[in-house]
Amino acid sequence: MNITGKRQSRFYPDENILEVNIPIQLLRRGGRTRIQTADGELLQSSPTSDTALMRALAQAHIWLQKLEDGEFSDVKTLAAHYQQNESYVSRILRLAMLSPVLQEEIITGQHIAGRSLADFMTGVPVLWSKQ
C-alpha cells in the first residue's frame, strides 16, 4: 500500500470544521508497530509509545471514513460488520475527534501526559483546549 498526499489542514468556516490530513501507514515488524510517513521515513517511537493507542487512532479514522463515505449507514451496522460491540466502536470513533495536536503527539509517540488507550476510551473533554 502506498501512502499518498501530504500533511495539510483546511478550515471550512461555514460549517466550523477543521480538517487535518496526516498521511501515515502503520507497519508491523517483529511484533512492534512502526509509523511510516508519505516520504518513506520510519518514525522512531519512544519506549513509552502506546502502540495500542496508535492503532486505535488509525482504526478510528478508517471507520469514520467508511461512515462518511456511506459504506455503512450507522455505527450499529459498522460494528456488526467488524463483529465488534457497538459501544466499543463508538468509543474508538471518539479518538478521531481529538485535537489535531493531540493526535499528532499520539502518532509520533510524543509524551501525552502518561495517558493510555483506556484513558481516552473513558472520555475526554470535547473542547480541544481542555484535552
Residue 14 has pLDDT above 70, yes or no: yes
Range of the domain at 45: 8-130
pLDDT in tens, 42-56: 766 555 567 789 889
Task: Give the span between the Cα atoms of 35 and 109, in whole angstroms.
Answer: 10
Q: How far, rounded to the nearest angstrom, does the alpha carbon of residue 43 sit from its chain's CA centroid?
A: 16
78 located within any domain = yes
DSSP 116: -
54 located within any domain = yes
50 located within any domain = yes
2 located within any domain = no
User: pTM of the entire structure?
Assistant: 0.66
106 located within any domain = yes
Give the chain's domain count. 1
124 vs 96, which has greater pLDDT?
96
Q: Rounded to 10 degrees, what is the CA torsion of 30, 56, 50, 9?
A: 110
